[in-house]
Amino acid sequence: MTSNDILSCTPHEDVVSKSMYRFKVWNLLENKDLVMFPRPCKGRIPNFVDCTIAADKLSTLDIFKKAEVIKVNIDKPQESVRFTVLEEGKTLLVPMPGLVDGLVMKVCPPRDASRPLKRVACNRRGASEFGKPVDLDEKIQVDMIVLGSVAVSKEGHRIGKGEGYSDLEYAVLCACGAVTEDTVIVTTVHDEQIFDTLPHNLFQPFDVPVDFIVTPTQVIEVTPRLPKPKGILWNVLSDRRLQLIPMLKTLRDKDIDLGKDCTLKEVDSEPEERTKPYYRPLPRRRPYIPPRKHSRESDSSPQGRPSRTFRRGGSQRKQGPREQREPRGGKFDRKMNGENKENQQQSRQKPIRRVQRRFYKNRLPADFSVKVGNIGSTVRVRDLKAALNEKGVRPREITWKGARGFAVLHFAKMKAQPEQPIAVDDV
């Protein structure tokens, strides 16, 4: 993707900044439908299409095969990378949410864990369940770091979602000795997120560059590699950041004891550029409103003409103000008027009956079920239904687990033929 293509997405922005490139990439991926759930991708690391292919391509590289301890960010597009790390028997480290209770967690699923359980351990909820915090004093050596990016250049410059946690995590790991110059930094992105170059004046010494860029179609090795941060730069942090992350206070006290300059930034840090993601509201069920009894309008139309209503199942009758109406003549009408008055009095005395909620009957149990596996992440349930219709297979119900890569088809015998044998092989 060239700079001209990305600049055409939002021509109203003239100030060149990291935020400008973020919004332009987010808009471009949304307009070209190159992102998956969660959407919209604004304010997030985009979960780009074919992210699993990029993860498979990364697993074939020698740098991945040689690495034993790999730290992967917790964003959705790198979930396949985390699963591959566990499948290969390597040590998986994930960042602690918000860096409040620690720096990283070591994901340790059971030794005999199945593939579905490993997939569960790779998402956010599973990582918090199977993750064990790693103490700062524990000596670990990280061989590879896999990051997500919003935009990246072929020269190695990277733009994240604007919170700065990835840069801070790298600085803390470097200060603890867990990261060295030999640690390889990789990012997995879509081809549309890559630029030939990005303005160098947008990047600071604390910004973490990348060494390899892996996409679903190519692998780019950055040559020459950009210099990486050597540790924590205290002069770019404010006291507000230390209050949010208690771990930084401990590291700062250690550096002060060693005689290092740990002067903080006098002016408070600028607010994060990241905007809160937009969550689509769920459809709300309408409350049940009991039907109102038929009442005739007594107001006249704006033009001064008497308003009119139409009686269901009867002839049309003009209606006007109550004083202008003429009562119908005849014994039948007087009798009906009397009955209506009695009915109105009875209805006032009777309490209002609430309409009970309708409950649907449970579905009949299935006689047998068939599990369909190896479903790709881009396959939708409508695609599976279309394929089944082509084969003439009509299950009673489908349990869709596309995120885990499988679905379950439930079948039942026809009511007209209760003794009919179940032909599983035909299905």
Q: What is the 3-state secondary structure (H, E, C) of 149-198?
A: CCEEECCCCEECCCCCHHHHHHHHHHHCCCCCCCCEEEEECCHHHEECCC
* Residues 77/106, Cβ–Cβ less than 8 Å: no
Question: What pLDDT score was predicted for residue 305?
Answer: 52
**Beta strands per DSSP E along 49-143:** 69-72, 91-95, 104-107, 131-133
* Residues 189/49, Cβ–Cβ less than 8 Å: no
Q: Which of 2-11, 261-270, 314-323, 358-367 has the lowest mean pLDDT?
A: 2-11
| Closest-CA residue to 185 (of 216, 154, 208, 218) | 208
Boundary-marking domain end, from 217, 234, 251: 234
Q: Is the model more confident about 315 or about 131?
A: 131
pTM above 0.85, yes or no: no
Would 23 be classed as within a structural domain? Answer: yes
Would 48 be classed as within a structural domain? Answer: yes
Number of domains observed in the structure of the chain: 2
* Residues 239/264, Cβ–Cβ less than 8 Å: yes
Structure tokens at 407: 């679905």
Whether 223 has a pLDDT exceeding 80, the answer reads yes
Query: How far, in Å, CA of 320 to CA of 297, rounded?
Result: 8
Domain enclosing residue 210, as ranges: 3-234
Phi, psi of 142 (to 5 degrees): -85, 125
Per-residue confidence at 55, pLDDT binned at 50, 70, 90?
very high
Boundary-marking domain end, from 218, 234, 250: 234
The overall average pLDDT reported for the chain is 78
Would 12 be classed as within a structural domain? Answer: yes
Which CATH number fits the domain that encloses residue 130?
3.40.50.10420
Q: Is the model more confident about 148 or about 10?
A: 148
Would 22 be classed as within a structural domain? Answer: yes
* 357-367 residue pLDDT tens: 665 556 667 77
The alpha carbon torsion through 378, 384, 385, 386 (nearest 10 deg) reads 80
Boundary-marking domain end, from 234, 257, 276: 234
| Closest-CA residue to 380 (of 360, 358, 356, 407) | 407
Helix (H, G, I), strand (E, B) or coil at 91: strand
Would 195 be classed as within a structural domain? Answer: yes
Which CATH number fits the domain that encloses residue 416?
3.30.70.330
